[in-house]
């Protein structure tokens, strides 16, 4: 029922997905408006925008903040929000070196090189703190808690190759870019469409593409939709919904059980109509 009409649904808004899209807007604004008074209040009380990823629950957290955090840590929210954002390169003063998806291929280094992550002494550092600007440009400064083993040399070489392809712009801020909208800015509608995308793709049915464009009354189109989807309260459907039905026979012909196929296409009493 929540699919678009052209995809076989009724176009009714899915409240859960829409709520997630609205909460995503709150997280987006918290990141992009850190200097605003409301964002500074949240920062002083709960921590910065990164606190939304913290699974620990503080004793001073409001119900609203707990709800926002729980939504950002749920699997559905992570799939849509984390996949929808990309880092726009800057001075790297907000980007976590190991955890964030700042690399060209969009994969966090902690997942690409977990072994190197475990021997790093800079696991929680921002990119800005992983090196310094010199006269020759940006220079990385890696600190490891032990020397590399022989079987880690090739991995380290790939790691260095991935990192060297990225540039650090000292005069530009780090920002998020929303990939689901051409403007790069987050919108609730684009987020909602992104959330609904998988279910829409999985439930496409060509029979409905033209149904809602027919030059007929809406109630007639709705009637046809209910018939095709078998959504009428026939006796068999009511019994499937745990309604007590003692007599399942068709009330017109009394020859077969009443379901949509019989009632509209096979019943000897209704066929003339």
pLDDT band at 71 (very low <50, low <70, confident <90, very high): low
Q: Is residue 272 part of a domain?
A: no
Domain housing 220: 206-266
User: Do 227 and 104 lie in a common domain?
Assistant: no
User: Do 56 and 8 lie in a common domain?
Assistant: yes
User: Do 7 and 75 lie in a common domain?
Assistant: yes
Q: Is residue 49 part of a domain?
A: yes
User: Do 229 and 194 lie in a common domain?
Assistant: no
Q: Is residue 17 part of a domain?
A: yes
DSSP state string for 113-160: -HHHHHTBS-TT-BGGGSEEEETTEEEE---BSSPPPGGGHHHHHHHH
Q: Is residue 237 part of a domain?
A: yes
User: Do 5 and 76 lie in a common domain?
Assistant: yes
What is the phi/psi pair of residue 146, to 5°? -160, 170
Q: Is residue 273 part of a domain?
A: no
Task: Name the average pLDDT for the chain.
Answer: 82
Q: Is residue 122 part of a domain?
A: yes
User: Do 96 and 229 lie in a common domain?
Assistant: no
Indicate if the pLDDT at residue 82 is higher than 80: no
Q: How many domains does the chain have?
A: 3
User: Do 124 and 184 lie in a common domain?
Assistant: no
User: Do 56 and 107 lie in a common domain?
Assistant: no
User: Do 192 and 210 lie in a common domain?
Assistant: no
Q: Is residue 230 part of a domain?
A: yes
Residue 75, number of CB atoms within 10 A of its CB: 7
Confidence (pTM)? 0.62
User: Do 76 and 210 lie in a common domain?
Assistant: no
pLDDT in tens, 201-214: 554 556 677 888 88
Q: Is residue 271 part of a domain?
A: no
pLDDT in tens, 90-112: 666 677 888 887 777 777 888 88
User: Do 70 and 95 lie in a common domain?
Assistant: no
User: Do 59 and 113 lie in a common domain?
Assistant: no
């Amino acid at each position: 029922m929540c699919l678009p009409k052209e995809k076989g649904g009724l176009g009714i808004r899915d409240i859960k997905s829409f709520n997630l899209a609205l909460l995503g807007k709150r997280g987006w604004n918290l990141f992009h408006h850190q200097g605003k008074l409301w964002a500074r209040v949240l920062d002083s009380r709960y921590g910065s925008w990164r606190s939304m990823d913290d699974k620990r629950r503080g004793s001073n957290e409001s119900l609203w903040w707990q709800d926002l955090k729980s939504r950002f840590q749920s699997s559905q929210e992570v799939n849509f929000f984390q996949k929808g954002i990309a880092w726009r390169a800057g001075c790297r003063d907000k980007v976590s070196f190991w955890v964030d998806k700042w690399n060209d291929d969009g994969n966090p280094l902690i997942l690409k090189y977990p072994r190197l992550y475990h021997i790093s002494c800079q696991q929680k550092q921002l990119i800005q703190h992983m090196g310094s600007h010199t006269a020759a440009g940006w220079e990385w400064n890696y600190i490891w808690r032990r020397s590399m083993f022989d079987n880690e040399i090739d991995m380290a070489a790939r790691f260095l190759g991935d990192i060297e392809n990225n540039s650090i712009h000292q005069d530009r801020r780090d920002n998020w870019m929303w990939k689901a909208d051409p403007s790069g800015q987050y919108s609730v509608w684009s987020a909602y469409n992104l959330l609904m995308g998988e279910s829409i793709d999985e439930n496409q049915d060509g029979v409905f593409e033209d149904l809602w464009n027919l030059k007929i009354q809406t109630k007639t189109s709705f009637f046809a939709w209910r018939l095709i989807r078998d959504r009428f309260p026939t006796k068999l459907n009511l019994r499937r919904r745990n309604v007590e039905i003692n007599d399942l026979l068709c009330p017109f012909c009394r020859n077969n059980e009443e379901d949509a196929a019989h009632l509209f296409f096979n019943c000897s009493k209704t066929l003339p109509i």
